[in-house]
Amino acid sequence: MATIASMTGFARADGSITRTDGVLADSGGDPGGDAGTAWAWELRSVNGRTLELRFRLPNGWDSLEAGWRERAGQALKRGNVTATLTIKRQSESRLELDPAALEQVLKIATDLHHRIPGSAPPSPEALLSLPGVLRQAQSDQKQEKASAAAAVQAGFTAALADLVASRQAEGSRLATVLHRQLTEIAALCETAATQAVGQPAAQRARMLDNLQTLLRETPNLSEERITQEVALLASRSDVREELDRLSSHIAAARDLMGEAVNIGRKLDFLIQEFNREANTLCSKSASVGLTATGLKLKAAIEQLREQVQNIE
């Protein structure tokens, strides 16, 4: 059975690649090993008009982004999604000198020494402590990435599945709220229908009374023409058409919720139609009671709109 999905969700997957006797092995969700590489995925999703994916990846992992982006695009339809990968070495790696970085900092340090009289020349210890002068050996980086890649790939798949489940769980809670709000709107429509039964006749009688007074004061006016105008105005005060359309929109919304998949934008458009009919009903109202019900209707529709904004 299809499930309504929210655009809000969170998921995390982590693990480590541990080194045992010189061999890297996947330790699954236990990042507590004393050697090797720990990794963690965090996926966060919030509302969005379309699907927007942002990947925050460590250096050297960018080449795998296209595959992850494609996989996420197949699983998700809407929302702003941020996927963050953290890679952390759990043991000291073999270091090597970066000649270009050393040459640059050495030149800067030597220039400063010459410019500042009495200053000590740069020491090797100070130069080696500067960021970038010593780096993880490239051979270690390649081995580390190759060993961790499979686990990181599997971790992304698991995190993405958890994110989908998280969004569906939130969507299930939203569905309960939406059904309750639609029921409330339907009840308000029934109340409005009851209040509006005598509205055209009452408004016509009231207007005729006012015009009878005007006719006595201005006898040259055509009573037949005035009666036609009054009948036209009375018909314009009839809100049955708006209430019928609202009932139709309620049925359409419930049908969409039955479809469940990728319905957020359709529901959002439908809510605009809800608002249009409610506004027209209020503008046609000729009684305090109907106006009050119309305002409650508009408030209920606004609450429905706010919840629909979360639907995928």
Residue 134, domain member (yes or no): no
Mean pLDDT of 280-286: 87
**Largest Cα–Cα distance of the chain, in whole Å?**
114
- In percent, how much of the chain has pLDDT > 70? 75
Kindly tell me if the per-residue pLDDT of 230 is higher than 50: yes
Q: How many CB atoms lie within 10 A of CB 171?
A: 22
Kindly tell me if the per-residue pLDDT of 118 is higher than 90: no
Three-state SS at 13: strand
Residue range of the domain that includes 253:
170-308
Is residue 59 domain-shared with residue 99, that is, in the same domain?
Answer: no
Q: Which tokens go with 251?
A: 């049925």
CB 80 within 8 A of CB 108: no
30 — pLDDT class (breaks 50, 70, 90): very low
- In percent, how much of the chain has pLDDT > 90? 51
Residue 139, domain member (yes or no): no
Is residue 232 domain-shared with residue 302, that is, in the same domain?
Answer: yes
Count of domains for the chain: 3
Q: Return the DSSP state at 54.
A: E
Q: Which tokens go with 214?
A: 């005007």
Residue 56, domain member (yes or no): yes
Q: What is the pLDDT of residues 119-131, one digit of tens each?
A: 888 888 887 788 8
Per the listing, tokens 């019928």 go with 244
Average pLDDT over the chain, rounded to an integer: 83
Q: What is the pLDDT of residues 146-189, one digit of tens each?
A: 778 889 999 999 999 999 999 999 999 999 999 999 999 999 99
Is residue 162 domain-shared with residue 261, that is, in the same domain?
Answer: no
Mean pLDDT of 193-206: 74
Mean pLDDT of 26-49: 74
Is residue 121 domain-shared with residue 241, that is, in the same domain?
Answer: no
Is residue 30 domain-shared with residue 76, that is, in the same domain?
Answer: yes
Is residue 21 domain-shared with residue 99, that is, in the same domain?
Answer: no
- Phi and psi at 187, nearest 5°, equal -65, -40
* Residue 3 Cα distances to 183, 219, 250, angstroms: 20, 69, 19
pLDDT number for residue 212: 67
State the pairing for strand pair 9-20/37-46: antiparallel
Is residue 25 domain-shared with residue 154, that is, in the same domain?
Answer: yes
* Residue 159 Cα distances to 63, 141, 166, 170, 282, angstroms: 19, 25, 10, 16, 49
Residue 72, domain member (yes or no): yes
CATH, residue 246: 1.20.140
Q: What is the pLDDT of residues 53-102, one digit of tens each?
A: 999 999 889 999 999 999 999 999 999 999 999 988 765 556 667 788 88
28 — pLDDT class (breaks 50, 70, 90): low
pLDDT number for residue 234: 57
Per the listing, tokens 């106006």 go with 291
- Phi and psi at 118, nearest 5°, equal 80, 0
Is residue 292 domain-shared with residue 186, that is, in the same domain?
Answer: yes
Q: How many CB atoms lie within 10 A of CB 14?
A: 18
More confident residue, 209 or 151: 151
Is residue 36 domain-shared with residue 75, that is, in the same domain?
Answer: yes
